Amino acid sequence: MFAGLFDEFFGVPTHPFAVHAPIVLLPIAAVVAVVFALRSDWRERASWGMTAGVFALAAMLFVAKESGEAAQNAQNVFGNVDRHSELGEQTFVITLVWLVVTAGLFVRDRQIRSAPATSLSAGAVTPSKDPVALGLSILAAVIAIAATIWLIRTGHAGAESRWKLG
């Protein structure tokens, strides 16, 4: 798709460079997603940041995935990386689902905040009390945990293919 773009970075295959940022940042973002599910007041103030962060993670995973495919096509890999490649694709897709849910949560929080003011005694819904926002927040946290697990599995499969771990 992007021939040559993901092959090398300063003469070294891009893939080893591209994987390090998501390896560090995705688990941190997953912890934040869990905190947001538990602390709706924090989510209300920073849901735009979470959406932007998950978007950045998806972009980083895209670069890691594409650079891995470029290394595989260039025969610049060691061992059988089929399982690693398959898990990498799955991690990317899980992260895209996380992005969609996080963006939906951001939109839902904004809809509630911009709704006409109604007194709380009349049953007004606030972002912290909205069952849809709560459900999306919990779903985002679960998907974030799944993405972290898949990222670990992907890295382990890559390490096994590279260093023949038992």
Q: Is 165 helix (H, G, I), strand (E, B) or coil?
A: coil
Read off the pLDDT band of 22 (50, 70, 90): very high
What's the pLDDT tens digit per position in 51-101? 999 999 999 999 998 888 877 777 766 667 889 889 999 999 999 999 999
pLDDT at 1: 47
> Residue 66: CB partners within 8 Å, gap ≥ 6?
1, 2, 5, 6
What's the pLDDT tens digit per position in 147-160? 999 999 999 998 88
Q: How many residues does the structure list for the chain? A: 166
What does pTM read for this prediction?
Answer: 0.84
